Chain A
């Protein structure tokens, strides 16, 4: 079964990923067109394959936690578990196939080092694993349960939501299972299909009493995992499986914690806030540099890290500054966690899944608030002309005209996400802008004066 970890990276596309490790930001397009392999016949040559990619962007070497060594994501998990088993005599690790090291090698060597009564296999029963973990935690052991793939966590859903999350509350703080941490590989991997690719954080986000944490790389992973283990609440720790090998960083060997429920601003910006977690952070890093280079848009990138309870303050403060929010995650759109963030933030947002965000929303005119827009439409309906309305409300006639045209076309005054490429500018307007940016690449939206 050690070989199963190798399989995940045997796919042709992933050669590109591992080759790009440690190479920092690259300005390539997010969607790559791949030719079919020579194995396929001439009949299929006309079909074009679309593939998404991401380039892993490692964190800078941390200096405040002591000496570091090179580790990939699964090694950082092993290191965290090693530190825990060493310092906490009540700590136990269990799950399917963890004894020999786990299907992703996250627990390699731990059984030999700490003994078979501290690192042991469970039979194939997720509900049983989590239920057992809750009991062990309630009795005082630091229980670290592994669910082999996040896709298999659903038999344990009842135990997590009905038992673990509510234990402290329903016993009036007499009992709790805060010592429980559940780890599971999470997210797209390229060939996982229905049952080895899921991102179920949204299902659990609907449940108070548990914490959900998703790291973006080895340094974060070790720190966050140790925080989860220390935390006196049951935690679910999702590890992006595609990063197990692809993500390599210098990780401190000693134990250290990264605080939960604190989002990290990875890059400051002024035009739009980008929020993501896990693998998507690396996609958005590329987007940030693309947007800066090609569109002159300054993005603020936030890694949410803790999904539940999430850091509303950091995100809202950022959106208040930039006025725009874009969230990217792998899970399905409807009911995905982006919906929660966007409704909390309550400004017009674009919510996206997976690959690139096309930030062709460039330097905009000031967006008028909904009241004014509605007023404009009402006045137009009453028969007023554009110029008159503009004079009355103190807006340009062209702005008024644009709003009314939009209302006529879409029957709405709100700026909702629409199908088709965003078309804020007419082609002539776009070429004016492109000419200006080509002449002066350092143009930013503040120096822009749009007519």
Chain B
């Protein structure tokens, strides 16, 4: 059939006709207390390009699916979506390795994926089922994988934690670092400044990243912060302000920051200027504090996936059909995952009180009435 023929044609063209790699100009990065910044160009290989495209598309589709499932009340509770900010998660992961550590706040679905989670596990966690990445007990805000410390509900509380992880890296001499993310709203929390001080004093290998999506819930940055130059807020910590909608920009900046940390120079701060298309969470329509035109404008001018796609197509690094095929595969993957997430059984009642403590004998926990007892297993 025609489709088959087209795919045959594509595969026979893949090695001969596509550019294996290309160099792109990227936006200059604003610097604070730094002489030099990341390079102004970035080289992207075809492989990496397709990988980033696939991952970003997966995140985008996954978030939109979560939106759908939430509206169908299959996902309950709280759900904070990451679409629009995909370049941040993918770019950061491109600049570090899976053996480095990362911690973020509640808008964590994208990071769970880039840090090694599968879409199936993530969606099952959103629907609170057995096969979820946190065994169905965490939900949207509490997802974890190896070297990914979540998924944290209390705003700002994850940053000192990240410093602790960084200390462990330094202490154990592993040459790993920790990436600690927070948002523009959290940037005004006191504990973040305490962390800046500790990290600088002890030269911890930590990259502070402020994902500035312009709005802390419904409050725009001008109304929340005396200084909206979040990359300078670290004061004595060198800072970079990066275009967070361009995956290559984020990647180069992260690489630069990682080198800075690994060479023992101490912490560094990155502000990623990005944007979220959805509201703060599923209960926020997202249009009472910003205009639909603004959202549309960002979508049309700076969408991270479109930007990457245009770059690759205009430099002949991939064909339209190939990218379409990736889209179709991604869609299928998400559909399967959603199907799995709705049909997987919920965790057994025995699990409800487990893991309150560790290494304790099983003890009884009072249930909803004094005569229903649940057992806590460690």
| A residues neighboring B (CB under 8 Å) | 1-4, 6-7, 10-12, 31, 37, 39-41, 43-44, 47, 50, 52, 96-97, 100, 121, 123-125, 127-128, 151-152, 155, 191, 193-196, 333, 350, 352-356, 358, 417, 419-421
Contacts and interface: CB of A to CB of B under 8 A. Distances in A.
Given A44-B346, A124-B186, A155 B288 contact: no
Contacts of A128: 188, 190
Contact of B72 (A39, A100, A354, A421): A39
How many residues of B sit at the interface, in one of the four size bands? 35 or more
Contacts of B72: 39
B73 interface: yes
Interface string B211-232: 0000011110001110000000
Contact of A124 (B76, B188, B280, B281): B188
12 contacts: A1-B217, A1-B284, A4-B281, A11-B76, A43-B345, A52-B368, A121-B223, A124-B155, A191-B78, A193-B77, A354-B368, A354-B369
Contacts of A127: 190
Interface string B329-361: 000000000000011011000000000000000
Given A6-B283, A152-B154, A333-B366, A191 B216 contact: no
A123 B225 CA distance: 7
B364 A155 contact: no
Given A52-B368, A123-B224, A152-B154, 15 more contacts: A1-B218, A41-B343, A121-B219, A121-B224, A123-B225, A124-B155, A124-B156, A124-B185, A125-B189, A128-B188, A155-B189, A194-B153, A196-B78, A358-B369, A358-B370
Contact of B373 (A7, A350, A419): A419
A39 B289 contact: no
Nearest to B343: A41
B371 A2 contact: no
Nearest to B218: A1
A100 B218 contact: yes
B282 interface: yes
Interface string B18-36: 0000000000000000000
A213 B223 CA distance: 32
B98 interface: no
A108 to B, nearest CB: 13
Contact of B284 (A4, A40, A151, A155): A4
A120 to B, nearest CB: 10
A12 B74 CA distance: 11
Contacts of B280: 1
B345 A44 contact: yes
Contact of A358 (B141, B289, B366, B371): B371
Contacts of B77: 191, 193
A124 B346 contact: no
B109 to A, nearest CB: 17
Contacts of B186: 124
Contact of A47 (B139, B282, B346): B346
B173 interface: no
Those 10 A-B pairs whose CB atoms lie nearest each other, nearest first: A7-B283, A123-B188, A1-B218, A195-B153, A4-B283, A124-B185, A41-B343, A123-B224, A191-B77, A125-B188
Contacts of B316: none
Contacts of A41: 342-343
A355 B217 contact: no
Nearest to A49: B346
A350 B369 CA distance: 12
B288 A40 contact: no
Contacts of B371: 358, 419-421
Contacts of A124: 155-156, 185-186, 188-189, 216, 224
A50 B371 CA distance: 14
B364 A419 contact: yes
A369 to B, nearest CB: 24
A7 B346 contact: no
Contacts of B141: 195
Nearest to A417: B370
Contacts of A3: 279, 283-285, 288
Contacts of A419: 364, 370-371, 373
A411 B123 CA distance: 51
Nearest to A191: B77
A7 to B, nearest CB: 3
A200 B282 CA distance: 27
Nearest to B225: A123
A127 B191 CA distance: 10
A50 B368 CA distance: 9
Contacts of A123: 185, 188, 216, 224-225
B288 A2 contact: yes
Interface in B154-198: 154-156, 185-186, 188-191
A18 to B, nearest CB: 17
Contact of B190 (A4, A6, A155, A356): A155
A193 B139 contact: yes
A356 B188 CA distance: 43
A51 B76 CA distance: 15
Contact of B369 (A7, A193, A356): A356
A191 B371 CA distance: 24
A11 B282 CA distance: 13
A37 B368 contact: no
Contacts of A191: 76-78
Given A1-B284, A43-B343, A97 B368 contact: no
Interface in B126-174: 139, 141, 153-156
Contact of B345 (A39, A47, A152, A155): A47
B268 to A, nearest CB: 23
Contacts of B345: 43-44, 47
Contacts of A47: 345-346
A12 B73 CA distance: 9
A11 B216 CA distance: 25
Contacts of B191: 155
Contacts of A333: 366
A10 B343 CA distance: 23
A451 B115 CA distance: 71
Given A155-B190, A191-B77, A350 B368 contact: no
A121 B186 CA distance: 15
A52 B158 CA distance: 33
B290 to A, nearest CB: 12
Nearest to A2: B288
B73 A350 contact: no
Nearest to A131: B190
Contact of B370 (A37, A155, A352): A352
Contacts of B153: 194-195
Contacts of B155: 124
A121 B217 CA distance: 13
B342 A39 contact: yes
Most buried by B among A124, A151, A194, A421: A124
B311 to A, nearest CB: 36
A421 B369 CA distance: 10
A327 B288 CA distance: 43
